[in-house]
C-alpha cells in the first residue's frame, strides 16, 4: 500500500468527515507551486482560499516568524507586547482605520463585528435592547460559527444546527432596491462581501455599492464589508471597496493578513463603533499575540513593497483574457476581478469537480464551488508565462 493511500485511509478513519478534499497530499510549497508526497509539482490556483496571496512560504515572512518565535510567542492580552502597537500603526497607515481589533480567524472577525455593531446600535443609535437587525445577502459566506450559519442560505451550512441566532434579514445580493426596502428603525448594520467568493465569484452590478453606501449613511446603518477573501490585493487593489469608490464603516480582513503562516484576522473601524467595547466585554487569548503581529507585519510589508497588488491587477486582466478566449461548448460564463476568477460550466457538463480532477492530473490545483463553477485564485506572485501555462491546461481540460 502506498504511503499516500495510508495517509488518506488514516484521515478517513480518524478524522471527522466535514471536508471532501481532492485526493492530493501536499508536502511542500514555494511561490505559486506546491509538491505532493510523490514529488509531483502543481500550480496552486486556490491559494488556500486567498490566504497565501504572497505565495507559499515567502522567505521574508518566514524569517519574521522564526525570529519572533525565538523571542516571545504569546502573552495573552493580560499584558502588553512590543509588536501589537507597530501592527496597529502599520495597518492604520495602510487602510486609514482609526481603531483596530485583532482576532485569529475570519469567522472570529465576523462575530466580533456582529457583537460590536449590535452594542453600538443599543448605546449610540438608540435601538431597543434585543431588537437590533443586521441586513445580509443571500448566498453569502462569512464563516461556520452558529451565529453566522444562522443567516446562511446554504442548506449544507445550515441544516441540522438550529436553533438559530435571530436578528438577521436576508436580501438578494446586488439588488439595491431590495436592500433599501429591508432597512427599518432597528437596522444597525449591513454585512456584505464586495464579491461573493464561495457563491462562485459573483460580482455585483456597477453602482450597487455606491447606492448601498448612500442608504447606510442616510439611515445611520453601519456598513460592514467582509474583505477576508477579497482584501489584501486579491482583486488588484488593497481592498476591493476601492473598485467601487466607497469606504466601509467596518472592514474585516484575515486570510492573507499572515501570508498563510498563522491564523490572524482584524476588524478595522472607527472609535464610534469599536469604542463601545469595554474591558472584559470581548477578547481572545491568542488575538493580537506577538507572533501573529510580527507575521502580519511582514506579510503586509511584502504585499505592498514587492508590487503584488499591482501584479494581481495586471495578471488578473491577462488571465481573464486568456480564459475568455477558450472555445468550449461547456463554458457558460467567465468572470473575475484581479486574480479572483471563476469559470462557470453549463449544468449539462456534469459538475465542475471532475474537471478539477483532470486539472490536478495536468498539474494545476483548483477547486469546484456551487456544483458547476471552477474557482481560480493563484498567488499574487504569478508570472505571465505561468498564466499562459495555466490557460493552456484549462483549455485542454474544457475543450
Active site residues: 141, 226, 255
Instruction: Give, in order, the Cα–Cα distances in Å from 250 to each of 74, 96, 189, 224, 241.
Output: 27, 11, 10, 5, 12
Q: Is 9 helix (H, G, I), strand (E, B) or coil?
A: helix
Instruction: Give, in order, the Cα–Cα distances in Å from 335 to each of 32, 183, 250, 374, 378.
Output: 21, 30, 27, 11, 15
Q: Are 352 and 372 in contact (CB under 8 A)?
A: yes
Read off the C-alpha cell for 226: 467582509
Q: Are 168 and 117 in contact (CB under 8 A)?
A: no
Q: Are 309 and 238 in contact (CB under 8 A)?
A: yes
Read off the C-alpha cell for 89: 500603526
Q: Which of 221, 222, 257, 224 is nearest to 238 (CA)?
A: 257
Q: Is the dihedral of CA 65, 69, 71, 76 positive or negative?
A: positive
Do the bridges between strand 99-103 and strand 265-269 make them parallel or antiparallel, or are there none, so unpaired? antiparallel
Alpha helices, DSSP H, located in 99-207: 106-120, 146-150, 155-158, 176-182
Q: Which residue has the cell 515572512?
A: 61
Q: Which residue has the cell 483532470?
A: 358
Q: Which of 295, 214, 215, 305 is nearest to 256 (CA)?
A: 295
Amino acid at each position: 500500500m502506498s504511503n499516500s493511500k495510508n495517509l488518506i485511509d488514516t484521515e478517513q478513519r480518524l478524522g471527522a468527515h466535514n471536508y471532501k478534499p481532492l485526493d492530493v497530499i501536499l508536502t511542500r510549497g514555494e511561490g505559486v507551486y506546491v509538491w505532493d508526497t510523490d514529488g509531483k509539482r502543481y500550480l496552486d490556483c486556490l491559494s488556500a482560499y486567498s490566504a497565501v496571496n504572497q505565495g507559499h512560504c515567502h522567505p521574508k515572512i518566514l524569517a519574521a516568524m522564526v525570529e519572533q518565535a525565538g523571542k516571545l510567542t504569546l502573552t495573552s492580552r493580560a499584558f502588553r507586547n512590543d509588536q501589537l502597537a507597530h501592527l496597529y500603526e502599520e495597518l492604520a497607515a495602510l487602510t486609514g482605520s482609526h481603531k483596530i481589533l485583532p482576532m485569529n480567524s475570519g469567522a472570529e472577525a465576523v462575530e466580533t463585528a456582529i457583537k460590536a455593531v449590535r452594542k453600538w446600535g443599543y448605546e449610540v443609535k438608540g435601538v431597543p435592547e434585543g431588537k437590533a437587525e443586521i441586513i445580509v445577502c443571500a448566498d453569502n459566506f462569512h464563516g461556520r460559527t452558529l451565529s453566522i450559519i444562522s443567516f446562511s442560505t446554504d442548506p449544507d451550512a445550515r441544516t441540522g444546527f438550529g436553533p438559530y441566532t435571530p436578528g438577521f434579514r436576508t436580501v438578494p445580493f446586488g439588488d439595491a432596491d431590495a436592500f433599501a426596502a429591508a432597512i427599518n428603525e432597528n437596522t444597525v448594520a449591513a454585512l456584505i462581501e464586495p464579491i461573493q467568493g464561495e457563491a462562485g465569484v459573483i460580482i455585483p452590478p456597477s453602482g450597487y455599492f455606491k447606492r448601498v453606501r448612500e442608504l447606510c449613511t442616510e439611515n445611520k446603518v453601519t456598513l460592514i464589508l467582509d474583505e477576508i477573501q477579497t482584501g489584501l490585493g486579491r482583486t488588484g487593489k488593497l481592498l476591493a471597496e476601492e473598485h467601487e469608490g466607497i469606504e466601509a464603516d467596518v472592514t474585516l480582513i484575515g486570510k492573507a493578513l499572515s501570508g498563510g503562516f498563522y491564523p490572524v484576522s482584524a476588524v478595522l473601524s472607527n472609535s464610534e463603533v469599536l469604542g463601545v467595547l469595554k474591558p472584559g466585554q470581548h477578547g481572545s487569548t491568542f488575538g493580537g499575540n506577538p507572533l501573529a503581529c510580527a507575521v502580519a507585519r511582514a506579510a503586509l510589508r511584502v504585499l505592498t513593497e514587492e508590487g503584488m497588488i499591482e501584479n494581481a491587477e495586471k495578471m488578473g486582466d491577462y488571465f481573464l483574457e486568456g480564459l475568455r478566449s477558450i472555445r468550449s461548448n461547456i463554458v457558460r460564463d467567465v468572470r473575475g476581478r484581479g486574480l479572483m476568477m471563476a469559470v462557470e460550466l453549463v449544468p449539462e457538463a456534469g459538475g465542475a469537480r471532475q474537471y478539477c480532477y483532470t486539472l490536478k492530473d495536468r498539474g494545476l490545483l483548483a477547486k469546484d464551488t456551487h456544483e458547476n463553477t471552477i474557482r481560480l485564485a493563484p498567488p499574487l506572485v504569478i508570472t505571465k508565462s505561468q498564466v499562459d501555462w495555466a490557460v493552456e491546461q484549462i483549455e485542454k481540460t474544457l475543450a
